[in-house]
């Protein structure tokens, strides 16, 4: 089994079934978009202000090879007729919950001999 399949299987074992991979590269095509948002004041307080940090993952991991993106499933109350909020909004901050998952995944990647950094949206 290759590392990609192994990582997908590990994520699946944690209940995370949507896992994607892309090549680590500078996303220069996003620079104009982020500049426009910044000029128009469309950024929100949680967004990184430095555009270069947003488009260049090599600033975070100089020898990065792959970016892995994982969709985290929101739990919904299936008994409600009208959906208002995910169950996660009623408890612990999802950033904290997702970070714990990412720590497990990063640990697994490191056990395979790789390097990993986890980020929550």
Q: Nearest-CA neighbor of 93 among 72, 107, 78, 79?
A: 72
Per-residue model confidence (pLDDT) at position 19: 97
Record the pTM. 0.81
Per-residue model confidence (pLDDT) at position 101: 95
pLDDT tens-place string over residues 67-105: 999 998 766 566 666 656 665 566 778 888 899 999 999
Which stretches within the chain are classed as H helix?
3-13, 31-39, 51-55, 94-111
Q: Which residue has the tokens 């998952």?
A: 101
Per-residue model confidence (pLDDT) at position 78: 65
Domain extents in the chain: 1-24+62-121, 26-60
Would you say 103 and 114 are in contact if contact means Cβ atoms under 8 Å apart? Answer: no
Per-residue model confidence (pLDDT) at position 92: 78
The pLDDT of 1-12, averaged and rounded, is 96
């Amino acid at each position: 089994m290759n590392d990609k399949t192994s990582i997908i299987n590990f994520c699946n074992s944690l209940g995370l079934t949507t896992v994607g991979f892309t090549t680590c590269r500078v996303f220069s095509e996003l620079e104009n978009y982020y500049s426009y948002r910044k000029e128009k004041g469309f950024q929100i307080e949680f967004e990184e202000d430095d555009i270069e940090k947003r488009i260049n993952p090599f600033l975070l991991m100089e020898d990065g090879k792959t970016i892995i993106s994982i969709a985290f499933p929101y739990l919904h109350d299936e008994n409600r007729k009208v959906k208002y909020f995910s169950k996660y909004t009623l408890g612990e901050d999802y950033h904290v919950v997702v970070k714990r998952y990412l720590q497990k995944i990063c640990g697994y990647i490191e056990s395979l001999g790789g390097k990993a950094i986890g980020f929550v949206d």
